[in-house]
Amino acid sequence: MLQRILGGVLVLLGLATVALGVASATVWRATDTVVATAEPVGDGTMIITDPGVLGLVSDDVTVTATVPEGQRVTLAVGRDVDVLGWVGEDPFSRVTGLSDWESLRVTEGEAPADEAAADDEAAADDEAAADDEAAAEEPVTGPEPAGSDMWVAETSDEGTVTLRWSDRPGRWTLLAAGVGEGAQAPTLELTWPRAVSTPYLWPGIGVGAVLVLLGAAVIVVGGRRSKARAARTGRGDTTRQESRAGSRDLGSVSAPETDDGAQDASPAPFAGANPFAPVRATERPANTPAWTAGPAGASEPAEPAAPAGAAASSIPPAPDEAAEPVAGENGSGTAEVPVAARLLRRSRRQQREQAGWPAQGENAAPEEAGAVGQPVADVAPAPVPQPVPDHAAPEPTITGSMPRLTRRELRAQEEARRAAEQGGVARVLRAVTGSVPAVRQSPAAEPAATEQEGSPDLSTPAGRAAAWRATWGFGSDQNDGTTDQENR
């Protein structure tokens, strides 16, 4: 149980990991581009980027600068000294890097001290340049960087302007300037393409798959273990029964001699059968529908099982030492063995009933009557409840007959179980649902086993006799039984 829960948890965890891995490559996949914006700070009409900012994420960058409607904006890329030299003393904003993936860090730039004075003086002196580019130069007017010989790339337009730049070795700096009267520094937007990898996709799927398999393995192993445990306890019963069967046989042989001396000692096997039939007779009224159904009664697994248990319990506690363990086993076994094992055992009992009783109770009795004659017939019609408690004989016969049946049934059952276990779908289903396999599998496998043995034979007297013989372990079947025992 615990194993199933833990296995389930592992499976869920694995599925979750797979989901996360897939999500990392789909829903949470980083965008192909990094878009970062910079708002200018302080005064000034210019904003520049520090060297290295343009190539921050990748070498190719698309710069977009935006100024309010109706104003002019210029973008230019140049060597850092050139740009700083051009900006000179004027106030400007400086982009120093990324503050996060969506915004750039902007500080107020300070002008380098060296070229300040010369710049101003020259600007005042030279009206020649002024009439071209900054004709109406007023205090608030943003100077126009466009047209300088120093830029390696530049563009200029109204409102919004875009510049593509492939970074190259060196300290390249972007200058964005609002131009003209009442200009203000533009807002920068840098867009880099990014090679987005999905590093967690396959690891996630791999780890998840491993977890799922691990969980499945845990469930399967757990299921098999519990089943094996159940089977072990069940087999323990039967083997114990069987091992005692030998002694019981002896006991049963000896028992009639001592207790039921009136009856024939020579037909020792029948001595066991004689009292057995009445027991069956007592049982039969209790579950007639089941018995009339015969082998088809396999469809109802639980009900036949219950009477079987009832039959076992209904058998009065035998004074015989051989009978005691049987009752004790049944009682203690049901109490101790877990559910699965109990069900397994029930089904075994049911098998026993289906395979054994019809061959014995219905058919064996007449045959016995025909073959053996009176003693059997006499006992068979006798009122059922009475003989059993009265005679000590029934108990040894029960104990004697049970092992014979059990051995055969165990073999068939074991085969069926193995076959069912090896079935791929059934196994997976069991692993997933955690259902108890014993109940389902045995009925499926069982009819075949019984059919092979004797069911077609039942229609003819000879077949019935063969079935009876097989059931009781006469002839070659007895040898088979021993070989089986050896094999086991």
Output 9 or 448, the one with its CB closest to other proteins: 9
According to DSSP, residue 100 is labeled S
Name the CA radius of gyration of the chain, rounded: 48
With respect to other proteins, which residue has the nearer C-beta, 192 or 276?
192
Toward other proteins, which CB reaches closer, 150 or 268? 150
CB of 316 to other proteins, least distance (A): 40
Q: Pairing relation of β-strands 92-98 and 187-193?
A: unpaired
Distance CA 35, CA 421 (A): 59
Binding site for other proteins (CB under 8 A): 2-3, 6, 9-10, 13-14, 16-17, 20-21, 24, 28, 30, 50-53, 55-57, 79-82, 85-86, 88, 96-101, 114-115, 118-119, 122-123, 126, 128-129, 132, 143, 147-150, 152, 169-172, 199-200, 203-204, 207, 211, 214, 218
Q: Minimum distance between the CB of residue 105 and other proteins, rounded to whole angstroms?
A: 10
- Closest contact distance (angstroms) between CB of 68 and other proteins is 24
Between residues 18 and 305, which has the closer beta carbon with respect to other proteins?
Answer: 18
Identity of the residue, 128 or 262, whose beta carbon is nearer to other proteins in the bound complex: 128
Residue type at 179?
Answer: V
Q: For residue 255, give the H/E element and its range.
A: helix 201-259
As measured in angstroms, the least distance from the Cβ of 113 to other proteins is 12
Q: Cα(466)–Cα(452) distance, rounded to whole angstroms?
A: 12
Residue number, 143 or 301, with CB nearest to other proteins: 143
Q: How far is the CB of 206 from other proteins (least distance, A)?
A: 11
- Please check whether residue 342 is in contact with residue 334, taking contact to mean a CB–CB distance below 8 angstroms: yes
Three-state SS string across 148-216, please?
Answer: CCCCCEEEEEECEEEEEEECCCCCEEEEEEEEECCCCCCEEEEEEECCCCCCCHHHHHHHHHHHHHHHH
Report strand pairing: 46-49 vs 92-98.
Answer: parallel
| Closer residue to other proteins (CB): 279 or 341 | 341
Least Cβ distance, residue 405 to other proteins (angstroms): 34
What are phi and psi for residue 92, nearest 5 degrees? -155, 165
In the sheet with 153-158, reading across from the earlier edge strand, the strands are 104-109, 92-98, 46-49, 172-179, 72-79, 153-158
Residue 176 CB, nearest approach to other proteins (Å): 16
